[in-house]
């Protein structure tokens, strides 16, 4: 049996060596502080679980969701939430659709939009889903470097004109994974102007918009002038309400893009268990994520301040779940991640796993399992201080 050639286009798993060392350490009974995966460690708020239980007891939710684009109660709640949160009007009937998590929307948008040879503009470093699905759909990618000197925001003027002319799709993600960077509404206005000039559809990945600190409010790209002409925005409940396993999100924006994505997805999945939609709608309109954010803020401060004290200069992110730190001179991302794991028992992700411009950095997640009130984060800092003897700058 021979598999489809498109699977060969999936790049090799770059975290292979770290995964192997992690399994080995665990098998040897070592205690690791795992700052690897960005998966909220706190439980889903109880009120959301109670709502799921109530909705699951209603036989109305036990059948296929045969609606046009997702359970109306959920899409209406998502639209009201957009109005309240961003002052953006969304028509739940034509400008919104349900997603099985935002990854579903991001991946399938490539399949709905990319013809063989088409170009996607993708951030580098970036969430790998944009690139992999463009390639599998037969497209090519043009990397937009996210450089520290530019605040990890791409320079639109550096995209060659012939590439811009051929580009079909652009992906942007702020608050950003992996760099923790944020973008301004001014930048989004520039993006929309650029996209209109070159007739490019823009996908704004807003998975981390509600994971923010110190009073920072992340904008939506749909707040930009004329955004609905070119923008589709993907939103997720995963990181906001600790609901990664529930697989629920939504897309809003340009009605043609929504319709193309919906046409494709209607032939792939049969939407979500409606009880989950009902619980998610309830979460959007009734539940605060402040307790989780307070805990992340505490961990962020312990990590960033602790590392800075020992000489490792890292920035506190204003949003996202990630501290993005430059590795000391003379080390690659992979070398340094390996040293942190084997010498200090602290697991971080090498930055080159997110693209070539991620080389020279490691990503540390604030979602550390087993952490109570910052104690595991403090342990991570202590271990690095005691075991890693390098010249930090």
Ligand X SMILES: Cc1ncc(COP(=O)(O)O)c(C=O)c1O
Token code pair at residue 377: 């984060």
Question: Between 165 and 184, how does the x/- string for binding to ligand X read (CB under 6 A)?
Answer: --------x---x-------
* Contact status: 209 vs ligand X (CB under 6 A): no
Binding to ligand X (CB under 6 A) within 31-50 occurs at 38
Which CB, 182 or 236, lies closer to ligand X? 236
In the bound state with ligand X, the residue whose beta carbon lies nearer, of 132 and 378, is 132
Question: Which residue in 36, 45, 180, 249 binds ligand X (CB under 6 A)?
Answer: 249
Question: Alpha-carbon distance 157 to 274, whole Å?
Answer: 45
Q: How far is the CB of 349 from ligand X (least distance, A)?
A: 12
CA proximity to 114, closest of 87, 74, 141, 80: 141
- Indicate the residue among 79 and 102 with the shorter CB distance to ligand X: 102
Choose which of 102, 220, 240, 365 interacts with ligand X (CB under 6 A).
102
Max Cα separation, the chain? Answer: 63
Which one of 61, 212, 236, 242 is in contact with ligand X (CB under 6 A)? 236
Stretch binding ligand X (CB under 6 A), from 97-105, 151-159, 213-221, 329-337 = 97-105
Q: What long-range pairs does 384-387 form, CB within 8 A, spacing at least 24?
A: 384/307, 384/310, 384/312, 384/340, 384/344, 384/346, 385/306, 385/310, 386/344, 387/343, 387/344
Q: With contacts defined by CB under 6 A, name the span among 2-10, 21-29, 100-108, 214-222 that binds ligand X.
A: 100-108
Distance separating alpha carbons of residues 226 and 83, to the nearest angstrom: 16
Q: Is 101 in the site for ligand X (CB under 6 A)?
A: yes
Of 92 and 101, which has the nearer Cβ to ligand X? 101
Reference 69, options 263, 228, 236; nearest CA is 263
Residue 207 sits in the site that holds ligand X (CB under 6 A): yes
Quick one: which of 71, 81, 86, 127 contacts ligand X (CB under 6 A)? 127
Render 83-120 in DSSP notation, one character per residue.
HHHH-----TTTSEEEESSHHHHHHHHHHHHPPTT-EE
From residue 128 to residue 167, the character string flagging contacts with ligand X as x (rule: CB under 6 A) and all else as - is: ----------------------------------------
The minimum distance between CB 152 and ligand X, in angstroms, equals 13
Please give the Cα distance from 359 to 331 (Å, whole number): 10
Distance CA 371, CA 379 (A): 10
Cα(304)–Cα(324) distance, integer angstroms: 10
Q: Which range of residues in 65-73, 87-95, 98-106, 132-140 is near ligand X by CB under 6 A?
A: 98-106
Q: Does the CA dihedral 188-192-198-201 come out positive or negative?
A: positive
List of residues contacting ligand X (CB under 6 A): 38, 101-103, 127, 173, 177, 205, 207, 236, 238, 244, 249
């Amino acid at each position: 049996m021979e598999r489809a050639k498109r699977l060969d286009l999936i790049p090799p798993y770059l975290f292979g060596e770290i995964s192997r060392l992690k399994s080995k350490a665990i098998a040897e009974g070592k205690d690791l502080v795992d700052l690897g995966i960005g998966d909220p460690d706190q439980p889903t708020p109880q009120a959301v679980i109670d709502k799921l239980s109530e909705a699951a007891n209603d036989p109305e939710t036990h059948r296929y969701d045969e609606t046009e684009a997702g359970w109306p109660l959920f899409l209406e709640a998502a639209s009201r939430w957009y109005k309240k949160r961003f002052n953006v009007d969304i028509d739940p009937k034509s400008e919104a659709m349900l997603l099985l998590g935002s990854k579903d929307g991001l991946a399938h948008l490539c399949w709905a939009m990319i013809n063989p040879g088409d170009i996607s503009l993708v951030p580098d470093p970036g969430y790998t889903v944009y690139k992999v699905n463009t390639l599998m759909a037969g497209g090519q990618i043009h990397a937009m470097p996210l450089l520290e000197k530019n605040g990890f925001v791409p320079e639109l003027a550096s995209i060659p004109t012939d590439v811009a002319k051929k580009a079909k799709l652009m992906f942007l993600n702020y608050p950003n994974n992996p760099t923790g960077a944020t973008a301004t509404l001014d930048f989004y206005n520039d993006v929309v102007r650029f996209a209109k000039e070159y007739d490019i559809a823009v996908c704004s990945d807003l998975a981390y918009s509600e994971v923010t600190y110190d009073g920072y409010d992340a904008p939506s790209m749909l707040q930009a002038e004329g955004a609905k002409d070119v923008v589709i925005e993907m939103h997720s409940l995963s990181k906001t309400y600790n609901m990664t396993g529930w697989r629920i999100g939504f897309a809003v924006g340009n009605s043609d893009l929504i319709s193309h994505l919906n046409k494709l997805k209607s032939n792939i999945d049969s939407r979500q268990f409606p009880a989950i939609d009902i619980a998610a709608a309830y979460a959007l309109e009734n539940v605060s994520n402040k307790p989780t954010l307070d805990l992340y803020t505490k961990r962020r401060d312990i990590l960033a301040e602790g590392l800075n004290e020992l000489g490792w200069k890292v920035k506190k992110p204003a949003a996202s779940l990630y501290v993005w730190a430059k590795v000391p001179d003379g080390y690659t991302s992979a070398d340094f991640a390996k040293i942190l794991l084997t010498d200090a028992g602290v697991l971080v992700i090498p930055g080159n796993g997110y693209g070539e411009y991620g080389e020279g950095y490691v990503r540390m997640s604030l979602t550390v399992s087993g952490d109570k009130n910052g104690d595991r984060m403090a342990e991570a800092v202590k271990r690095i201080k005691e075991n890693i003897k390098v010249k930090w700058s």
